[in-house]
Structure 1
Amino acid sequence: MNDGLERQGHATLDLGSRVAKARKIERLLDLPSSHQKILEVGTGAGGIAHYFAVHADVPRTVEAVDVKDQRQVKEGYSFTVVSSTTLPFPEDSFDAVISNHVIEHVGDREAQIHHLTEIARVLKAEGCAYLAVPSRWMLVEPHYGLPFLSWLPRGWRSAYLRLAKRGHHYDCEPLQLYELEDLVRKAGLTCENVSLRAFRTLIELERPRGLLARLACLPDRWLEWLNPLAPTHVCLLRRDSRH
């Protein structure tokens, strides 16, 4: 279930940024007040899994998986190396699943659907999954730092990378919002777009300056209008009861 490309490691290894990200995810997830079982797919440096394991008012069991072990913090949670999008857990295992900027790295559309299908399989009936994925229409592509890279037709992106001396082939698959919603439906999940809520939570937690601070002054209806230009789609996923 891949397109034949060799995919590079793009994990964010800055632990400070992972704590801030984890706090935002925690605010957005609908976690039960009792013992929680949480899975992070694509744990990278381990900062998010570690945060969820040690910063909680209720007991938590935290599992994490990745195709490579790049962890800088390992305490408090269990970790498994995986070789594909298949998750090594039984059905109905987790109250919450976190997939933070992972789906664009797993491969082609078939692999992306399988990634989501596996999330649906291991998620409890009343569970909630956090999914974040960069938008195809982001102005600057975050993995390679090139403007408008993902705007180009797929066949032109690698040529742009080589011309800019940033790599040989473009190994990511950012999504338009309608594409993401279609994949989620095919995986048997429902999708609640919480990008605006995620932005407001980011502002509340980090109090940034500059452009973000100015954008935060805009009313919600204006930000909703600008949503198609947001660099990241943030969604809460739940199992579709009709499946």
Structure 2
Amino acid sequence: MPTTNKFVRQPHAVTDLASRRFKALKIERLLGLQHFPLPIRLLEIGCGSGGIAHYFATHPSLQCIVTAVDVHDNRQVHDGYIYHSVQGVQLPFEDQQFDVVISNHVIEHVGDTAAQLVHLQEIRRVLTSTGKAYLAVPNRWMLTEPHYRLKFLSWLPHAWRSPYLRWMGKGEVYDCEPLQMHELERMLATADLQYHNQCVEGWRATFEIEHPTHWSNRVLACCPDSVLKPLTPIVPTLIYRLERGIRTARPEL
């Protein structure tokens, strides 16, 4: 998505369509879309290869009217949904137009903190009063940075990240802004979004969907939430279900 910085950010689109199907299934479960009234007006921000938009547009039981936007057109599948090319964080849609909004690993690409806040405010603006949004972002404290596959890249101070990237021969400029859990939640509150941390649920769903027979899935299934929740500040991906907050009138001076 857009940038407020001077350098050009790369698209970082995931082109593995099989993984997009797994991701879409996880989003479907975490948002409880099987219980939504139909049809579902769904917006995906930063659709990349188009795999998630295509999944919902061609879903066998959910009736979804799907719209997708991106600043780079890297789609591999085009069927079933409407696509808009956009520039900047503002969305070209009316207020409260969508029942579901998906922002999957997008906010770290939109630019600095000001741009990230506008991204969240735009999600709130286009979401209906009863709608839900899915937000996923890499945790700054993840061990391996997922875009460049370097250990501890996002742990470094900003001024050190691009030199480390160049030193390792992985690129010229580090063009992502992963977030810590507390700063993301502060930003969500500022954007007047009610948020529900789903890191544990997302962790479980990932293993159930992608590794159903792996021993780690069985171990995870045996762990109670009380054991896993203290680990949420360091999980690789921060996942939230969002709803519109209720604005309160300021008292008159």
TM-score in terms of structure 1 length:
0.95
Is the Cα contact below 8 Å between 2:131 and 2:243 reproduced in 1?
A: yes
Is the Cα contact below 8 Å between 2:204 and 2:220 reproduced in 1?
A: no
Match of residue 12 from structure 2: 10
Comparing 93-102 with 179-188, greater Cα deviation is found at 179-188
Say whether 1:239 aligns with 2:239: no
Superimposed CA distance per residue, residues 105-149 of structure 1 (whole angstroms, 9 cap, x where no aligned partner):
000001000101111110001110000000000000000011001
Match of residue 183 from structure 2: 179
CA separation of 1:222/1:156 partners in 2, compared to 1, >3 Å: closer, same or farther? same
- 1:166 is aligned, of 170, 174, 197, to 170
- 2:25 is aligned, of 19, 23, 45, to 23
- 1:7 is paired with a residue whose SS is coil
- 1:59 is aligned, of 60, 63, 66, to 63
Say whether 1:132 aligns with 2:130: no
Is the Cα contact below 8 Å between 2:141 and 2:154 reproduced in 1?
A: yes
Distance 1:215 1:29 in 2: 21
Is the Cα contact below 8 Å between 1:33 and 1:58 reproduced in 2?
A: no
Superimposed CA distance per residue, residues 71-103 of structure 1 (whole angstroms, 9 cap, x where no aligned partner):
100101000000111111100100000000000
Match of residue 251 from structure 2: none
Match of residue 104 from structure 1: 108
Provide the identity percentage.
52
Match of residue 114 from structure 1: 118
Distance 2:164 2:63 in 1: 48
Is the Cα contact below 8 Å between 1:46 and 1:71 reproduced in 2?
A: yes
Unaligned 5+ segments in structure 2 are 249-253
- State the shift of 1:210 in Å: 5.8
- 2:230 is aligned, of 225, 228, 231, to 225
- 1:37 is paired with a residue whose SS is strand
Q: How many residues are treated as equivalent by the alignment?
A: 243
Q: Quote the RMSD (CA, aligned, Å).
A: 1.5
Superimposed CA distance per residue, residues 53-78 of structure 1 (whole angstroms, 9 cap, x where no aligned partner):
11142422100000011110010100
